[in-house]
Structure 1
Amino acid sequence: MNKLKNSAIGFLLAWQFFSAIPVKRQLTMNDKTVTWMYAFLPIIGLIMGGMYATTAYVLFTYSNISPLLLTIVLVVGMIVVTGGLHLDGWIDMSDAYFSYGDKEKRLAILDDPRTGAFGVISVICLLLLKIGFIYEAIVQGAFAIIPFLTYIPFLARIGVLTVFLTTETSKQTGLAAYFKGVIWKKQLSISVVLLCVGYIVICIVLANYSMVILIIAMLLGVLLYRKWIIKNFGGVSGDLLGAHCEGMEVLLWLVALLFI
């Protein structure tokens, strides 16, 4: 019974921390519930993906919406559902990296709530690329994009979880360091493996082998991103995880565009 309660709290915590969906409850945070929170992160991504896919399907079927307007609706919807949380991380990461300072200066900029010019330019480029890739995918595949809308947010968050589990934090303080200290790493690692295996099995059963390419691209992206943040920031932080989620989605949409 306690396990069920902890998992339910973890599910609600995942929505509280990683989305704009209101969960107006005071929830218990301990090693069990925080571990469940991270275990549910990819599932939250899958549910979000289902929301995007449903929106696209309904608009495809019952309206004459243009591909460009549909793309804009989807991208704005992604920002609304996540509350812009990951975009904020992308902006902070960009400001810090393009400061061309040492690691200490970059970490200080990550903590600075102000937004700089590099962050603004970088997020505009990111959103333009996402809009461009999704638009081209819609033009080429129409209903074929439905599985990609569903699974790309799921895979991006598996990538976030993998980076979090395999990379030391850049600081010993902050939420990322706290969560890193209380999670059950073995259980979360098993969860990641099971989710990846389950995804591959579904792709094989559905004979949708192009979707398997996405998980390979995700794993390669994780390896490169880990190397990059360790070199430039000395480890991972909440902002860098959010930035990874946004960057990974754009990368996966590029890969999807090549295989639709």
Structure 2
Amino acid sequence: MKNASQGFLLAWQFFSFVPIKKQFDMNKSSITWMYASLPLIGLAIGSLLSGGAYVLMSYSDISDLLLSILLVVGMVIFTGGLHLDGFIDMCDAFFSYGDKEKRLQVLDDPRTGAFGVLGIVSLLLLKLGFVYEALVQGQLAMLVYIVMIPYIARIGMLVYFVTMNTSKQTGLAAYFKAQVVTKQLVIYSAVLFTLLSAALLYTGIYSFFILVAVMFAVVVVYRKWSYRNFGGMSGDLLGALGEILEVMLWLTALLCI
């Protein structure tokens, strides 16, 4: 249980803005639990955002547009912009039009280029547009999707992490990939996914199946694209996938409402 609790707190340290200022033991078990807890982080973030949206809709005259902006900004704040940073780097690297080695060099470059700026502006505008339209079409259903989408997106990130080789042997992603006990991670994640999914389905939210199907389809395409253009996975590509999944899932939710 100690490794499980440490892994959960490590997940908050690495994948959110929560300032947990404590040194934890980074062993194989705690790191495995850290990744297994990733969907729980998404569920917690979605629940906080959904609760905030419910309060604003119930006790204020906030417009749909302003609420949508606050939700998108909230998504950025809760993750500390970590996944967006990966998306920016991915855009700069991919649109450099170099070979795999050149793209990996650009991916590691901390500077932001024009393609990264254009990419993040396009991504945030799409997310804002989809969230706004979903809110206009169904406010109550919207509250459920705010919870589900971060959860399902992080399941997709976990699937990608488990099933991909890293693009290089150095770096944080390569270190974590080497430390994770894959069999245990799959078991832990499957149990958590089953329990949480059963709870959602118990409420009669059958669009959950559609969102999960879209998530798996996006991950399959993104895996092939990653291998072809980068030779594997990196931390930036993992974060970029999280952002891409959220946009695609919001589009799906808009079509399901």
- CA–CA separation in structure 2 for the residues paired with 1:200 and 1:47: 15
Say yes or no: does 1:107 pair with 2:101. no
Matches within 5 A, 1:54-133: 54-133=51-130
The Cα of 1:192 is off from its aligned counterpart by 3.0
The Cα of 1:211 is off from its aligned counterpart by 2.0
Q: Residues 177-196 of structure 1, C-alpha deviation per residue, up to 9 Å, x if partnerless? A: 00000111011112333344
From 47, 58, 61, give the equivalent of 1:50: 47
Indicate if the aligned counterparts of 1:203 and 1:212 stay in contact, CA closer than 8 A. Answer: no
- CA–CA separation in structure 1 for the residues paired with 2:193 and 2:9: 23
- CA–CA separation in structure 1 for the residues paired with 2:114 and 2:49: 31
Structure 2 stretches lacking a partner, 5+ long: none
Indicate if the aligned counterparts of 1:167 and 1:226 stay in contact, CA closer than 8 A. Answer: yes
Partner amino acid, structure 1, of 2:243: E
- CA–CA separation in structure 2 for the residues paired with 1:198 and 1:39: 13
Aligned partner of 2:133 in structure 1 is: 136
Moved more, 237-246 or 201-210: 201-210
The Cα of 1:200 is off from its aligned counterpart by 4.0
Matches within 5 A, 1:156-171: 156-171=153-168
Structure 1 stretches lacking a partner, 5+ long: none
The Cα of 1:199 is off from its aligned counterpart by 4.3
**TM-score, structure 1 as length reference:** 0.97
- CA–CA separation in structure 2 for the residues paired with 1:73 and 1:5: 36
**TM-score, structure 2 as length reference:** 0.98
Partner amino acid, structure 1, of 2:182: K
Indicate if the aligned counterparts of 1:91 and 1:122 stay in contact, CA closer than 8 A. Answer: yes
| Partner secondary structure for residue 197 of structure 1 | helix
Aligned partner of 2:174 in structure 1 is: 177
The Cα of 1:54 is off from its aligned counterpart by 0.4
| Partner secondary structure for residue 138 of structure 2 | helix
Indicate if the aligned counterparts of 1:162 and 1:192 stay in contact, CA closer than 8 A. Answer: no
From 24, 30, 36, give the equivalent of 1:33: 30
Matches within 5 A, 1:209-228: 209-228=206-225
| Partner secondary structure for residue 146 of structure 2 | helix
- CA–CA separation in structure 1 for the residues paired with 2:205 and 2:77: 30
Say yes or no: does 1:147 pair with 2:144. yes
Size of the aligned set, in residue pairs, is 257
The Cα of 1:208 is off from its aligned counterpart by 1.6
Root-mean-square deviation over aligned CA pairs? 1.0
Indicate if the aligned counterparts of 2:201 and 2:208 stay in contact, CA closer than 8 A. Answer: no
Partner amino acid, structure 1, of 2:214: A
Identity of aligned residues (%): 58
Partner amino acid, structure 1, of 2:244: G
The Cα of 1:161 is off from its aligned counterpart by 0.6
The Cα of 1:5 is off from its aligned counterpart by 1.1
- CA–CA separation in structure 1 for the residues paired with 2:85 and 2:13: 16
Aligned partner of 2:189 in structure 1 is: 192
Q: Residues 122-175 of structure 1, C-alpha deviation per residue, up to 9 Å, x if partnerless? A: 000000000000000000001211110001001111100110000000010001
| Partner secondary structure for residue 57 of structure 1 | helix
- CA–CA separation in structure 2 for the residues paired with 1:195 and 1:6: 16
| Partner secondary structure for residue 225 of structure 1 | helix
Moved more, 193-202 or 78-87: 193-202
